[in-house]
Structure 1
Amino acid sequence: MSNVVLLSTRRLPPTYFDQVREDLGDQNLTIDVIGWVAPSAWVGDKVNSFTLIGPGRMPAAPAPEPEPAVESTDEAPDAVIAPEAVADPEAVVADEAKVAPAAADVAAAGPIPTAPTAPAAAPAAKPRPTGAKRVVKAVQWRARKARKVAGRMLPKAIKTSAPVKFLRGQRASNDLGKNYWERVLSRRDVMATIDQADVVIALDAGAIWAGWNLGQRKASTPVVLGLPAARRELDMMKVPTT
């Protein structure tokens, strides 16, 4: 049974891991995932482990289904009321005659005055920054204003052009790739999981930088990009050597 480690910066659904086993041709494949983003749902029954190294929280396991309630077939016997427990009608009339004058006196006295409620205290004003903090806040405000002005001055045709979108995407991908690799390298549990892998697979552009660095550090373990390349590596491991 082979063990693969998936490096991913995308949000993966639980059904994706069924597709991974099908594409790699091994339904008994052991899968460990090093993810920057939590999966879209609980994957505890799909993978051996899912280590989240980015922001967010892992989805909670689904609550177990409640057991069906067992209906009792035994009927309770009819309640029996003792004769002495029933009040005498004459005694009830006498008690109502005693209570009526007291209720009339309370109604004549009028409503009971309530104490006036104190007005809610106004929230304290947030203190303004002073000294060095005031200078920092002023510089940050001017920088935000300058970015807004520059964005308005740039023509929309340029902002939405393919080269600008490509450069923005490349910059975001590079930043994510570096952050992902730094987090992988700083986690001992992640590196221990990678050390046990037969093949390490980088699934997307954000994980390429981490895969390349792992390939330089671990020459004995194949580190590939994508599932087709991983399938070739696993097939080569199954071929007996002569």
Structure 2
Amino acid sequence: MNKVVLLSTRRLPPTYFDQVREDLGDQNLTIDVVGWVAPSAWVADKVNTFTLIGPGRMPSEPAPEPEPATEPTDEAPDAVIAPEAVADPETVVEDEAKVAPAAAQVAAAADEVPVSKPAATKPRPTGAKRVVKAVEWRARKARKVAGKMLPPAIKGSRPVKFLRGQRATSDLGKTYWDRVLSRRDVLSTIDQADVVIALDAGAIWAGWNLGQRKASTPVVLGLPAARRELDMMKAPTT
């Protein structure tokens, strides 16, 4: 039975792991995941292990479905109202006459309850706090002005978006790799893998470093490359 380790910095749905087995041509494949982001739902029945090394928490196990209620076999008899349970009209009038004075006393007591005054306004900062608030306000205003000075056509252009995405991916890739190195359980799981697969751009840096550390284990980018490696392992040697 082959074992693969998936390196991912994106949120993966449970159905993705069914697709992984189908794309790799092995329904009995053992899958271990090292994820920066928790999956979108419960995946314990889809993978061998899912190790979360980023922020957040793993989704909880779904509650079991309630059992359907059993219907009674015999119909319940119609309810019978005893004559003595019905109050006479005169008794009802008497009870209303007794309750009316008490209701009037409650209403009068409610009128005497003092109305709470509105909360006092928050005092303005003074001294050093006032200086700090002023500096923060000017910094926010300067950022807004700087953003407005750049034409929208440039801010939304493909080169600018590409550079921003590359910078964010690079920072995430380095952080992801540092977290992998700091986890002995993750390194132990990777050492037992037949193939290590980096699924996205954020995991490429970790995959490259793992390939330099252990040349005997194939480290590839994407599922098609992993399929070729697994097919080569299954091929008979001559």
Question: What is the TM-score with the length of structure 2 in the denominator?
Answer: 0.80
Q: How far did 1:7 drift?
A: 0.6
1:193 pairs with one of 177, 189, 201:
189
One-letter amino acid of the structure 2 residue matched with residue 54 of structure 1: G
Q: Which moved more, 1:54-63 or 1:94-103?
A: 94-103
One-letter amino acid of the structure 1 residue matched with residue 230 of structure 2: L
The residue correspondences of 1:223-238 to structure 2 (distance < 5 A) are: 223-238=219-234
Find the residue that maps to 2:51 and give its secondary structure.
strand
Is 1:166 matched with 2:162? yes
Q: How far did 1:59 drift?
A: 2.7
> 1:177 corresponds to which residue?
173
Shift in CA distance, 175/77, structure 1 to aligned 2, threshold 3 Å = same
Find the residue that maps to 2:21 and give its secondary structure.
helix
2:201 pairs with one of 182, 196, 205:
205
Give the CA RMSD over aligned residues. Answer: 3.6
The superposition leaves residues 6-61 of structure 1 with CA deviations (integer Å, 9 ceiling, x where unpaired) of 11111222222111111111110011111112222322222112222222333333
Identical columns (%): 74
Is 1:58 matched with 2:63? no
> 1:70 corresponds to which residue?
70
One-letter amino acid of the structure 1 residue matched with residue 232 of structure 2: M
Give the unaligned 5+ runs of structure 2.
Answer: none
Shift in CA distance, 135/26, structure 1 to aligned 2, threshold 3 Å = farther
Give the Cα–Cα distance (whole angstroms) in 2 for the partners of residues 97 and 130 of structure 1.
71
Give the Cα–Cα distance (whole angstroms) in 1 for the partners of residues 233 and 100 of structure 2.
98
> 2:42 corresponds to which residue?
42
Q: How far did 1:4 drift?
A: 0.5
The residue correspondences of 1:135-150 to structure 2 (distance < 5 A) are: 140-150=136-146
Q: Which moved more, 1:63-72 or 1:1-10?
A: 63-72
Question: What is the TM-score with the length of structure 1 in the denominator?
Answer: 0.79
Find the residue that maps to 1:70 and give its secondary structure.
coil
